[in-house]
Structure 1
Amino acid sequence: MYRELMMDPYDRYELMVNGTTMKTPLVLSSMAGIVDAEYVKPRSDAVGMACIGGYSIDETTMAASRALAEAGREEFLYDNAIAALSDEVAKMAETGVICALNLRGSSPSSYRAVADAIGPSVVYEIDAHCRQEPMIAAGCGEYLLKNPDQLYLTIAALKDAGVTVSVKIRAGVAEDDKALARGIWQAGADILHVDLMDFGHTKLRQIRNSCPLLIIANNSINTFGIAKDMLAHGADMISLARQAGPENLRSIAESLARYADETGWYNAPKQLCRGGDIRSLTFCCMPVKQCPLLPTLEHLDISRNEFMSLKLDLVKKTPLAAGENTCFGSLAWCCKSSTPCMFRNMALKQEGLSLHDYMRYKHRLADKLMERVFDADGYYATE
């Protein structure tokens, strides 16, 4: 495949999950009764992570699984959850794909028992997504979106076990998805896996602007064009379920690899003035004119002077500090590489920088700006 012939995966995506480099931002999403290690194997060359399951992990949720199976739905049924999951984890280790266990439990202690038994080699994904009534009645799936305090306790129980935590949610179920995303982050989760339903990238951008978590976008993302759009609006990864045929996955993975190698930043946001998420502050010029930057800074409680000082301070001793002949005297204020600009390109030539490398530096600047926005003392959120 193309991605095996070019750049090292970390150099290409700069994306790690659970201490392991993601070879591609493509993820297999869980489908109960379907997605297990055997399902992953023929797709393993085209995905970076697989969320296997969903798996019911205690007596209450297993009873719900049996009821669903009797009603004709596919479910994973077993008598010993720890033994069954341990077997799947061992099989997944042979695939070279990061393993995430999508779990459905009726209490935080059920999740903690699995984490204590299996350990930190896998990602633990809390299923706050299932909308089947027996699972909701069992206290998991969408129940957790309507009772977020229980979700936060479950996240805390898993984090106390020293493991990486993902939460899969369904957009539009909770009272406020932005508040939910912030709560999931503040409870200690590492990844937010979002089924966007019919809300599309508008909802994704809202969630991206509400938390600094790694975000997996899900729902009807079955082409490179759709994947690229989601990545440009805040996703770090995208997941596929029903459309996850091996050939389709390979096609998207190869297109993503080419795009990353060409641009230098595979999920670069759109510019703020074109609907970009909060990461796009990296492309903003000085706040000297009426544009979307001014109300954004106001929402973030960052003054104009602070923003100017912050950006210039963050690019010190980097090539972005150069560019005295650009519009504002530094590449810190220059726009996205896809926007034509003679002055920016002249400055890059003088510094011996390609557009690809320029975007990599802009990516690092965006990460530092995100650290300021979501600082240790609290959070800030925009629409």
Structure 2
Amino acid sequence: MFEPPLALASLSGEADADWARAGADYAGAAFLGGIALDAESRAAAREMVRDRDRTEFLPEDPLAFIDHELAALEDVPIRPGFNVRSATPEPVVDAARVCRDRGAVLEINAHCRQDELCAVGCGETLLRDTERLHEYVARATETGAVVGVKVRAEVPGVDLPALAAELEGVGASFVHVDTMDTESVIAEVVAATDLYVIANNGVRDDEAVREYADYGADAVSVGRPSTDPAVLERVREAVARRFDD
């Protein structure tokens, strides 16, 4: 899906084209965003900015923003993707078309656990509302875009390997797994599906990269330290050792 098998994971309000360009010497992919697409998710994002002093992308036109940021990466040797949030499926489909036309992948956010987003049906809520998540993936895939889902482990009542298999069945190409404190879930997801599996959480050094590679991950991703060249260099070297064997 991308080479080297190291991705930069989305950072709310920070992961834009400039961020991806800065990390392109180290990574094979960069997931920009996340970005709220519809009225409900945008209202939740504004609430988080107001009440928590969070950073969020809140452009007047989210689709135009996605297109602009992807256009800015046309000359950058990295595979771009966009992490999107929405309480309704139609904006996800529209975003998928933009990503398709720009040669980017679409990552549906079923990961964020902030109360404001969950209250409107975004983020982690989708892990339990599988019928709606299936619809998002199926309809986005119908556009011809490459579609995947960012998920979180350790959500009560959610069988993540089974969910990954279901996502594959409705057209997903990859799953991006925040393992939380359960790194071994990667092996279970790999065993359950033929999806491209990206392992996220705690990727800082050779030990973490080796563990995820041993569990069968196809790639790893770096979140918060993605702005630190020293960490990226260390992880890039580890990926070359552990994934090229």
Above 0.5 in TM-score? yes
Distance change (3 Å), C-alpha of 1:139 and 1:259: closer
Could you say which residue in structure 1 is the equivalent of 2:153?
A: 171
Deviations 1:89-115 (A, max 9, x none): 011223211001000011221111122
Distance change (3 Å), C-alpha of 1:42 and 1:171: same
Could you say which residue in structure 2 is the equivalent of 1:149?
A: 131
Amino acid at match of 2:89: P
Paired positions, count: 241
Amino acid at match of 1:75: E
2:213·2:242 contact (CA, 8 Å) conserved in 1? no
Amino acid at match of 2:212: M
User: How far off its partner does 1:260 sit?
Assistant: 5.2
Secondary structure, counterpart of 2:211 in structure 1:
helix
- Structure number with larger C-alpha Rg: 1
Secondary structure, counterpart of 1:227 in structure 2:
helix
- C-alpha distance in 2 between matches for 1:260 and 1:147: 34
Amino acid at match of 1:77: L
Choose from 93, 108, 113 the match for 2:89.
Answer: 108
Matches within 5 A, 1:210-225: 210-225=192-207
- C-alpha distance in 2 between matches for 1:45 and 1:117: 25
State TM-score, norm by structure 2. Answer: 0.94
Matches within 5 A, 1:287-366: none
Establish whether residue 198 from structure 1 lines up as the match of residue 185 from structure 2: no
Establish whether residue 253 from structure 1 lines up as the match of residue 244 from structure 2: no
Distance change (3 Å), C-alpha of 1:119 and 1:260: closer
2:6·2:239 contact (CA, 8 Å) conserved in 1? no
Amino acid at match of 2:205: T
2:152·2:179 contact (CA, 8 Å) conserved in 1? yes
2:199·2:220 contact (CA, 8 Å) conserved in 1? yes
- C-alpha distance in 2 between matches for 1:259 and 1:184: 28
User: How far off its partner does 1:62 sit?
Assistant: 0.9
Amino acid at match of 1:253: R
Choose from 24, 37, 53 the match for 2:33.
Answer: 53
Could you say which residue in structure 2 is the equivalent of 1:36?
A: 16
Establish whether residue 185 from structure 1 lines up as the match of residue 168 from structure 2: yes
User: How far off its partner does 1:23 sit?
Assistant: 2.9
User: How far off its partner does 1:118 sit?
Assistant: 4.5
- C-alpha distance in 2 between matches for 1:210 and 1:91: 37
Amino acid at match of 1:69: V
Higher strand share: 2
Secondary structure, counterpart of 2:3 in structure 1:
coil
Establish whether residue 89 from structure 1 lines up as the match of residue 70 from structure 2: yes
Distance change (3 Å), C-alpha of 1:232 and 1:98: same
2:100·2:146 contact (CA, 8 Å) conserved in 1? no
User: How far off its partner does 1:56 sit?
Assistant: 0.7
Deviations 1:263-304 (A, max 9, x none): 3xxxxxxxxxxxxxxxxxxxxxxxxxxxxxxxxxxxxxxxxx
Identity, in percent, stands at: 32
- C-alpha distance in 1 between matches for 2:239 and 2:40: 41
User: What residue ranges of structure 1 are gaps of 5+ in the alignment?
Assistant: 1-16, 264-383
- C-alpha distance in 2 between matches for 1:255 and 1:147: 37
- C-alpha distance in 2 between matches for 1:240 and 1:117: 25
State TM-score, norm by structure 1. Answer: 0.61
Deviations 1:131-183 (A, max 9, x none): 01111122210110110111000000111101101100001215211211111
Establish whether residue 243 from structure 1 lines up as the match of residue 225 from structure 2: yes
Matches within 5 A, 1:254-273: 254-259=237-242, 263=245
- C-alpha distance in 1 between matches for 2:204 and 2:241: 17
- C-alpha distance in 1 between matches for 2:212 and 2:243: 15
Secondary structure, counterpart of 2:108 in structure 1:
strand
User: How far off its partner does 1:61 sit?
Assistant: 1.0
Q: Which has the higher contact order (CA 8 A, sep 6+)?
A: 2
Segments of 4+ moved more than 6 angstroms: none
Secondary structure, counterpart of 2:72 in structure 1:
helix
Deviations 1:245-277 (A, max 9, x none): 11211222133324555x3xxxxxxxxxxxxxx
- C-alpha distance in 2 between matches for 1:130 and 1:172: 13
Once superposed, what is the RMSD of the aligned Cα atoms?
A: 1.4
Amino acid at match of 1:191: F
Deviations 1:195-237 (A, max 9, x none): 000011x211111111110000000111022102101111000
